[in-house]
Every structure is written in structure tokens, then in C-alpha cells.
Homo-oligomer: A and B are copies of this chain.
Amino acid sequence: MDGSFLIGSRALTTDETFRAIDPSTDEALDTDFAVSTTDHVAEACKLAADAFDSYRETDPEDRATFLETIAAEIEGTDGLVERAVAESGLPEARLTGERGRTCGQLRLFAKLLRQGRWANVVVDNAMPDRQPMPRADLRQRRIAIGPVAVFGASNFPLAFSVAGGDTASALAAGCPVVCKGHPAHPGTSVLVGRAIQSAVKKCGLHEGVFSLVQGTSNDLGAALVKDPRIKAVGFTGSRGGGLALVEIAQKRPEPIPVYAEMSSINPVILFPEALKARGKDLGKAYVGSLTLGSGQFCTNPGVVVALDGPDLDAFADTAAKALEEAQPQVMLTGGIHKNYDQGVQKLSGQSDVKTLARGAEGTGCNRGRAALFETTGEAFIRNPELAHEVFGAASIIVRCTDFDQVAQVLEGMEGQLTATLQIDEGDHETAKKLVPILERKAGRILANAWPTGVEVSYAMVHGGPFPATSDPRTTSVGTAAIERFLRPVCYQDLPDALLPKAVKHDNPLHLPRIVDGESE
């Protein structure tokens, strides 16, 4: 196993090292991973800045090929899934799927680049005879924002880590990436980093397009965000971690955007007709979604809201029974497991909270025991602690007196990644009144599905108002994620010779354009 980190085309080592821990045994895995210093961070950022002007002006087709090459290199990397299993405790099938998702994501951005809408070319032709003043020739396009810092996420060692959604969208936009690998899976990170490094070389790009720094201290990430050459940050993780990066970014002489995807409890609302018709099925499906991957999804259904009554009793009973049978699964790290246990304990100790069920006890390290709670709408409204995310397979059922109280519960919630409706046709009129609230609170509204499972596509929004993310205007999954790393520039009366290809008069890149207000 390769223990180096990657600065441009080089693989470097240092005397200070760390090891990955297998969370299923709490034992250190083989390989000493070299810790990058803040000097290495600066070196990576300098290379990224050096690469920026040439990389951002590569033809979209060339960047598309580059992304596809990364995907192929990842698919050709031996031992990647095995290493990710050892470092994350996630099952092999899940990580095989995640590798497919990672490569599919890169290929979707390649397709997007070829379609060209991302460049948002807008042309207002000159009107030299306009009265009282002529109009100049004005051409707008979006260009890459600059070198981007990407923080690997623990819960998606492939799809939201070194070559994950943030990296794919930043590279697609034309931004060099300096990635800080998550310290929980350094081996996975370096394997994927090597794949990107190899693709950079094969595609003849400037070596500064990608670097990977590694280490366990927060100082490394702070140095990365502080570096003046970094112009945006992508992060998925805890609320505390995200807010710390936001603060660092805002205190820079030049503040920069941080796209932090942080905290969400993903309310699920059970409507009366649906609950009556299929409460037991819903109860089982709920526990399936809740316990999937030990509940370590940003979109885990952390709260269920419904009207109190026998139909909800049936739902809760079925859910409790299913949950009691749920086998404990290894969590991603010892720290996450500890936080989960503390969160569960804290929730169970709140007044007006009843523990409905706990998952089966298991043997072995860092096994997360699922937890199901219930409370009243009144208590939930009164006590904001009940709405705090417990990362893992914990969820709370909120029993409401009527739909006014349901509305109040939802209005009181912070921003969310998702909100889910379980509805039958007879519920539509009631649901209609809640949809506007949910639109204000969440990035994605689902009906008769479960929020875990996020499609990588054109229409997806994996985002939402604070604290779901630090920027409600964006998504971190799906093609619209590219917009986070672009900014508009307007060219006024520039001679064609000086115009970038994207806005030249004869449109050599064949980009779709809005001309004088109309789609071409």
C-alpha cells in the first residue's frame, strides 16, 4: 500500500505518519501514511494557481475526456473496494455500488460539459443606431472560480471523497482541486488520488490540476482554506466542522464561498389515509431506510411526524419490532460511533421522550445500535434539542394532535435536505397546505419514497436552507453542482481575437447561447 500524498505529479512522504483504523476491530491497518505539512498545502495551492489559467480554458471536450479518464483509472485500480471496506467498515456490495456511482458521476459531468449549457453564454448584439445611446456588443459566459479545496467525507469514501461529487463538479467547471483526504480512509484516498494523477498525465494537463494532502489535524484543513489561492471550498460532514470552515473562509482578506453540507433530520410526514391503508408496510420501510448503512446518510429519516391515534400506533409498533430485529452494523469510525451513542443517550434522557425500541445488541467494535423514540408535537415544538441531528440510525416519531400542530412542528424546524410525504389520494388536500412550508424548509420534497438514495441526475437537489447546507442556492449532487464553481464574466466590445472561444462570434465550441434574449 502506497503511503504517500500527492503534490501535482509527485508522490511525497514525510517522517510523521498515521495509520488507518479498521472500525470493525479498532485495529490499525498496515501502511504508514505520510502527514502533509502546511508547506505542502502551500505548494499544492501554488501549483493549482499555476494550472488555473490553462486548465480553465481547456475545451469542454478535453475536460470531458479527462473526467472519463479518471473514471476509467478508478475502475482499473486494483484493491480499491477492498481497501475502502477495511477503512470504513461498509459492506463490499455498498462500496462496489459506490464506485459505480462515483464513475457514473464523472461521466455525467463529461456529458454535461459536451452539452454546453453550463457555460451560460449570453450575447447581446451591438445596436450602434439605438437612441439615445448605442448599445455595445456584450457577451457573458461563466468561467471557473479558481482553485477549489475539497474535503473528503467519511460516509462516502468514494462518491463524496477524493474523486467524489465536489471534485467532479469542480474539475468539470475548470477548477484545479486540492483535496484533503479524510483521515479515516487514507488508503482509499491515495488509491483514488493516484487514479486522478494518472489521468492528469495521460491527458497532458498541467500537474497542478490535482493534489491530495493527507493528515489528521484540523490545522491542515484550516491552512488549505486560508490559502489565498483557494477560491471556493467543498465540504460534507458535521455541522461543527462545516461552520468552522465557513468562519475561516469569511475571515480571509478575500472571503470565499464554502459549500458545506452539514446537518439534516429529514422529516417524514405520514398522512392519515396512507397511514390507515398501509401503516405497517410504512413502518417496515421506515426502519429499512433508517438502518441502511447504519443510518450514516445525510438524508437519513431522523423524524416522523403524524397524527396521534391507532393508525400511528400500528405504524410505531411495526417499526419498533422491525428495529428490534435490526442487527447492529459497524459505524465508520470510533468517533462517529461514540458521538452516536452520546446523541442517543442525550435524546433518551429528554423529558417527554420515550424510547420505543433499540436495535439488537451485537458483539464487536463500533456497532451502532439503532434507536427509535417518540414524543408529542407539543414537546417537539417546545424543545429544540429534539430536532438535533443524531448521525446514525436514530429517529423520533412525533405524535401531533392535528394538522395545525404538524404545520407548527414543520415551521419550527431548521433547513433540511429533504422532506417526505407518505400520502394517498385522499390526503392531497391536507398535503397541499404543507407543501409551501416544506418548499421553504427543504431542498427536495419526496412522495411515497424514502429520502435515503440520492439520484445523480440533472434535476436533483441535494441541498437546502441552513443548516442543511451553508448555501441554499446550490446542490452538491447532480449536474447543477457545477454552478457552485463558476462565476459570470461579461465582455464588452472585445475584438474577436481577444475573446475566449466560448464567446467568439462564430461560436467555435458550438455552445448553446441566449442571443438578444432568445435561445438560439
Contacts and interface: CB of A to CB of B under 8 A. Distances in A.
Nearest to A515: B458
B122 A459 contact: yes
Contacts of A135: 455, 457
Given A447-B494, A455-B135, A459-B140, A489 B439 contact: yes
Interface string A364-402: 000000000000000000000000000000000000000
Interface in A123-152: 123-124, 133, 135-136, 138-140, 143, 145-146
A428 interface: yes
A140 B472 CA distance: 14
B445 A489 contact: yes
A436 interface: yes
Interface stretch (A185-193, A202-210, A306-314, A461-469): A461-469
A465 B254 contact: yes
Number of copies: 2
A406 to B, nearest CB: 16
A448 interface: yes
A250 B258 CA distance: 13
A464 to B, nearest CB: 9
Contacts of A436: 53, 57
A94 interface: no
B458 A124 contact: yes
A109 to B, nearest CB: 12
A183 to B, nearest CB: 28
Interface string A441-482: 011111111000101011111010111001111110000100
B512 A440 contact: no
Nearest to A518: B115
Contact of A444 (B442, B486, B492): B492
Contacts of A480: 122, 140, 488
A491 interface: yes
Contact of A488 (B425, B453, B473): B473
| Majority SS at the chain A contact face | mixed
A486 to B, nearest CB: 7
Contact of A498 (B57, B115, B432): B432
Given A457-B124, A458-B514, A257 B473 contact: yes
Given A440-B146, A480-B140, A472 B487 contact: yes
B488 A458 contact: no
B488 A115 contact: no
A292 interface: no
A470 B517 contact: no
A453 B136 CA distance: 10
A505 interface: no
Contacts of A449: 136, 492-493
25 contacts: A52-B440, A112-B517, A117-B514, A122-B480, A124-B460, A138-B458, A139-B459, A145-B472, A254-B467, A255-B470, A431-B498, A435-B498, A435-B500, A439-B489, A439-B500, A443-B488, A443-B490, A444-B490, A446-B494, A447-B495, A447-B498, A458-B514, A458-B517, A473-B487, A474-B488
